[in-house]
Amino acid sequence: MHFKLELAIYYNNVASPSSTTAPTNTNAFAQALASAITTSSPDATQLVSAQQSESAKPNLKQFMDASGMDTQTASKYLYDVVGANSDYRDWSSIMASSDVLSAAKTATHAMYFSNNAPDRTSELKSKGYNPVDANTIVAQSGNIAAVQTDGTLSYKIIRNDGYAVGNSIGTNDAKGLLDVMDTYGIDKSALTALADQLDAKGVKYKPYELYPGTGSDAGINLRDLASGGLGTAYDWTKDANAAIKDSFLVGTGVAGQASQAVADAQVLANRLNIVKHSDVTTEKGIDLSSLTPQISGANTLNYVVGNSGVASWYNTTDQAVKAQQLIGGEVIDLSKNTNGAGTQASTLAETNAQVATLSQQLADLSLKLTSGDTTSTTNFMNSYKQLQTLIAQMETLQTSS
């Protein structure tokens, strides 16, 4: 069963500032901001009205010249973090700062997460956005949450009012997670508490645990990432195949993208002082010693062709031998694994737990459907299909144990 972790970051649900002038009875944003300034809030000076922000906002070249940022980084802080929303950052103060990048980061964090962050609930609702369903959050530490939807886990950044910021972050995207946390000023220490909660609930998210029985090195060690490590079993600042990938992109609009991605990763790691911890970043690839039979429909796949870079499962020895001739590696007969009984018991226990979770989800969704909530129909059918697959897998495991 594949899971994807979703981390989320939240903003504060408070009145939106829109003016630094004295409060009036006709402008709630102005009243909120004026009140914040009166009480000398440390966040108040970083935010102004949308009109004031826009009038002082630099163009890309001006921002790059003042900050020393490259085009990609400058564009991210100038435009990407705002998107189609209004900008409330005090650009006059940012551009006058001795450290423009730090000032932009601080103002960006204030705009989304401070006590004076503008309330955009009505704006988001009018655009068709909904807050993250609280029932899908399986763990949360400060502004970061682990969210499971339709049996899938992924990382997401969410505001304090429950609305998501940006897109989901994959369970194997340590670089993306670090980048978005740095962009919005989220302290990495929150990842440690998040890991504690996930471990307590038995949620798999680490390398060699995320996809049990597959030997996959996918996943993020959140504690390692919090302590300044790469957080992955592989080194994401390197890609030995970058040149080969680039050769397929010649003449396209993304020529050189693979090599550029490596360069960007190295810049991020250097800027955040990220180092390789060899106990986590082992770079050993697929762990062939942890493979277990996989279920495909009514079949139990016991034959694996694998090496440190790839592993694939087959129903018969003949299929595996033919695959070996194409991709190399060794053929492993998992039906002869001396640890098979213990492995199956563990897999059976995990499957039982997944069945129980999905059964509860189906019960909850059934209540919503009977109350007339037609939006739950798709989720119900997806969960039902997953439950059928898991029950078949459980029956197979019980028979073979």
**The pLDDT of residue 162 is above 90:** no
| 240-268: pLDDT as tens digits | 888 888 888 777 776 788 899 999 999 99
Residue 247: its pLDDT value, please?
84
Of 101 and 43, the structure prediction assigns the larger pLDDT to 101
**In the chain, pLDDT over 70 holds for what percent of residues?**
72
Amino acid identity for residue 199 in this structure: D
Instruction: Give the lowest-confidence range in 43-57, 277-291, 326-340, 351-365.
Output: 351-365
Query: pLDDT class for 297, splitting at 50, 70, 90?
Result: confident
For residues 241 and 84, give the distance between their C-alpha atoms in angstroms, rounded to a whole number. Answer: 37
Contacts of 49 by beta carbon, 8 Å cutoff, 6+ apart: 17, 18, 19, 20, 29, 30, 33, 88
- With cut-offs at 50, 70 and 90, classify the pLDDT of residue 160: confident
- What average pLDDT score do residues 105-125 get? 86
Pairing, β 294-296 against β 299-301: antiparallel
Task: Tell which residue, 135, 280, 136, 311, has the closest CA to residue 211.
Answer: 311
% of the chain at pLDDT higher than 90: 38
pLDDT of 342-376, one tens digit each? Answer: 344 345 555 566 666 666 666 666 666 666 665 55
CA distance 69 to 37: 31
At residue 11, does pLDDT exceed 60? no
**pTM score:** 0.71
Confidence of residue 59 (pLDDT cuts 50, 70, 90): very high
pLDDT of residue 38: 33
pLDDT tens digits along 14-28: 323 233 333 333 344
Query: Can you spell out the DSSP letters for 170-214?
Result: -TT-HHHHHHHHHHTT--TTHHHHHHHHHHHTT---STTTSSTTT
Q: What mean pLDDT value characterizes the chain?
A: 79
| pLDDT bucket at 124, cuts 50 / 70 / 90 | confident
Report which of residues 394 and 304 the model is more confident about.
304
Yes or no: say if 150 and 133 are a contact pair by the CB < 8 Å rule: no
Structure-token match 């870079």, residue found: 309
78-105: string of b/e by CB count within 10 Å (b at 16+)? beebbeeebbbbbbebbbeeeebbebbb
Which residues partner with 47 through β-bridges? 89
pLDDT of residue 384: 60
Cα 363 from chain centroid?
28
Which residue in this structure is represented by tokens 């459980």?
A: 394
Does residue 389 surpass a pLDDT of 80? no
Output 22 or 159, whichever has higher pLDDT.
159
Q: Strands across the sheet with 303-306, in order?
A: 311-314, 303-306, 330-333
What average pLDDT score do residues 105-133 get? 86
Q: What gap in Å lies between CA 85 and CA 123, rounded to an integer?
A: 9
What pLDDT score was predicted for residue 363? 65
Q: Where are the alpha helices (DSSP H) in 201-247?
A: 222-226, 242-247
Residues 220 and 172 sit within 8 Å (Cβ to Cβ): yes
Distance from C-alpha of 143 to C-alpha of 272, rounded to nearest angstrom: 20
Mean pLDDT along residues 25-49: 48
**Dist CA 122 CA 361 (whole Å):** 30
Looking at residue 335, what is its pLDDT? Answer: 83
At 146 the three-state DSSP class reads strand
Q: Are the CB atoms for 201 and 138 separated by under 8 Å? A: yes
